[in-house]
Amino acid sequence: MKMTITTILAIFIMFTGFAQKQDSSSRARKIRIYKSTVIETNGKLVEGYLSRVTTDSIYIQPFSTSLSENYVLSPEQVQSMKFKRKGRVGKGALIGLGAGAIFGTVFGFASGDDNPDQDWIFAMTAEEKAAGGAIVYGVLGAVAGTLIGTLTKKTFLIEGKKEKFHSNYNRLAELAMTK
């Protein structure tokens, strides 16, 4: 038993050495894609991906067109902007499903076997409880993760004012696909 634990710890330590972060200068920048909804000052709605932000314009790539076609908006045209990470809902659902299933499994095994003499109709083994707990808590976790993923949005109120756009410029530039 002691040898098994020592072997597992040695393997774990070996793999954590490989998983260390690289130097930030040697890593390529990961492109994060944000779905954007822009409401113009005239009430028009523009939807697409935030392609690029400059000091005097915002480039929105529509969902259905090629990379070369962009909406170009000046800060004076923008009332508000909302951003949501692409794939955030699915990722939240998967994380919630995994966490709930693990919790349900551990909870089921921890509760142990029921005594069949006392409750012979609903007597369950620890494995049956673990399977049931994984299903129930997995579904609940997936629902919670979906709700959390749906509600995470970033909103910027520009109201057609260059000053508000420039005060939010750095945060908007971080959300853009290209710099």
- Is the whole-model pTM more than 0.85? no
Evaluate whether residue 168 is within a structural domain. yes
C-alpha pair distances (Å), 104 with each of 54, 75, 124, 141: 49, 50, 15, 10
Average pLDDT over every residue of 108-130: 83
* Helix intervals (H) in the chain: 2-18, 88-111, 126-151, 162-167, 169-175
Three-state DSSP at 72 gives strand
Residues 23-45: pLDDT tens digits? 445 455 567 788 889 999 998 99
How high is the pLDDT of residue 149? Answer: 85
Evaluate whether residue 18 is within a structural domain. no
How much of the chain, in percent, has pLDDT values that exceed 70? 79
pLDDT, the chain, mean: 82
Average pLDDT over every residue of 100-124: 85
* Helix intervals (H) in 31-125: 88-111
| 165 shares its domain with 136 | no
Q: How many structural domains are present in the chain? A: 2
How high is the pLDDT of residue 94? Answer: 94
Distance CA 53, CA 37 (A): 15
Residues 6+ apart with CB under 8 A from 165: 75, 78, 158, 172
Evaluate whether residue 23 is within a structural domain. no
Three-state DSSP at 39 gives strand
Instruction: Out of 22-26, 91-95, 159-163, give the one with best mean pLDDT.
Output: 91-95
| 92 shares its domain with 169 | no
In terms of residue numbers, what domain contains 145?
Answer: 88-150
Sheet with strand 45-53: strands edge to edge: 71-73, 58-61, 45-53, 34-40, 78-85, 154-157
Least confident of 11-15, 36-40, 110-114, 159-163: 11-15
Please indicate whether residue 18 or residue 111 has the higher confidence score (pLDDT): 111
Give the type of residue at 67: L
Evaluate whether residue 162 is within a structural domain. yes
Confidence of residue 179 (pLDDT cuts 50, 70, 90): low
Evaluate whether residue 119 is within a structural domain. yes
Residues 51-67: pLDDT tens digits? 888 988 998 888 876 65
How high is the pLDDT of residue 26? Answer: 46
Three-state DSSP at 46 gives strand
Q: Hey, what are 107's tokens?
A: 């909870």
